[in-house]
Structure 1
Amino acid sequence: MGSSSWFMLFLFSIASLHFHQPIVTVRGDTDLIEKTCKSTKHYGLCVSSLKSNTSSLKSDTKGLAVIMVGIGIANATATVSFLSSQLLSATANDPLMRKVLKDCADKYSYAGNSLQASLQDLATQTYDYAYMNIMAAADYPNACHNGFRRYPGLAYPAELTVREDGLKHICDVVLGIIDLL
């Protein structure tokens, strides 16, 4: 499988964990999903993510944005767990790496908080604030990456690169959908 296939498999896994439902392709009229996703930077990610969620068929454009925000929250939460459990325990004898990874876990936690705040903004139709919160969520992974750059001896983990790209792409999709509201 190519890296994009692994990336999509990762996103589907996260989406299914977050929504506690099996991955199912929605059948029926998908015109709104496809029309909405054409306005985003990542059409394939948008369509596959939304079609995988059974409630998307009954959603309006704002509902599609909410579903994608939920996928972003799942991504950020899974990344915090990944950083906290796997990487931190694997680097018990490297205090500098532990510090940088703890900072990264905090950044992804903040990203999740920003995404959560955007849900309230979407509910109250304050789309400018929702947009700002999504942009903030997309930028937190950069702060994590920059933490590694401050210490030239530390290598940025490849798995974190995949998760970083995933969150940024999800946020790009949400921003494209918000532009339609």
Structure 2
Amino acid sequence: MTMLKPLAFLILIVCTTFVVTQCRTIQPNDANLIQQTCKKTPNYALCIQYLNSDPKAPSADVTGLALIMVNVMKNKANIAINKIHQLIGKSPPDQKATLNSCASKYNAIVVADIPSAIEALQKGNPKFAEQGANDAANEANSCENGFSGKSPLTAENNAMYDVSVITSAIVRLLL
């Protein structure tokens, strides 16, 4: 009976050590990848915010992080499109043309830039994903500039621009 207590104690120590060492190698490295990746983007805090809000991020590699950001781009573009459609119905005639132009730009982001970025990342060709993210940033800037300083879409355009340049920077790490 006295022989079992030291043996049980030894087994407990070995099991605890195993669990602790396994947890230590998984958790910090995942958080570290997100932090190290975001440090290489133009907006560290926003990058961290977007990636930490996705439950897949801690287990993702850099390609996975880029895909998460492309999905954020898609969400931001859809938010902008919805707002544009709301504004078109109640805006003065001189703004309708600019809003329609913005709708076209955001449609290009959703229909062309985002699908091409996703496909490029999935096929291991990040150059085209970077181009899609850069195009989205340019479309958002172009929409904003079309209003000559009186844009009702400034928040949406800035959000789209920010997420696109972060995405582009992450994709660039894969080149």
Query: Which residue among 160, 163, 166 is the counterpart of 1:167?
Result: 160
Aligned length: 145
Match of 1:14 in 2: none
1:2-151 aligned at under 5 Å gives the runs: 28-29=27-28, 30-85=31-86, 87-91=87-91, 94-113=92-111, 114-149=113-148
Q: Quote the offset at 1:105 in angstroms.
A: 1.2
Higher helix share: 2
Amino acid at match of 1:71: V
Distance 2:144 2:51 in 1: 29
Q: Give the fraction of aligned pairs with identical amino acids, expressed as a percent.
A: 28
Match of 1:176 in 2: 169
Could you list the per-position Cα deviations for residues 85-109 of structure 1 after superposition, in whole angstroms to 9, with x for gaps in the alignment? 2x11222xx3221221111111111
Contact 1:73/1:116 (<8 A) preserved: no
Q: Quote the offset at 1:112 in angstroms.
A: 2.2
Higher relative contact order, structure no. (Cα contacts within 8 Å, ≥ 6 residues apart): 1
Query: Which residue among 127, 152, 155 is the counterpart of 2:150?
Result: 155
Q: Quote the offset at 1:156 in angstroms.
A: 1.7
- The structure number with the bigger radius of gyration is 2
Distance 1:147 1:165 in 2: 14
Contact 1:121/1:129 (<8 A) preserved: yes
Contact 2:117/2:128 (<8 A) preserved: yes
Amino acid at match of 1:63: G
Q: Quote the offset at 1:169 in angstroms.
A: 0.9
Could you list the per-position Cα deviations for residues 120-177 of structure 1 after superposition, in whole angstroms to 9, with x for gaps in the alignment? 011111111111111111100122123223xxxx8222xx111111111111111111
Amino acid at match of 1:137: A
Match of 2:5 in 1: none
Deviates more, 1:112-121 or 1:57-66: 112-121
- Please list every run of 5 or more consecutive structure 2 residues that lacks an aligned counterpart in the other structure: 1-26
**Superposition CA RMSD, Å:** 1.4
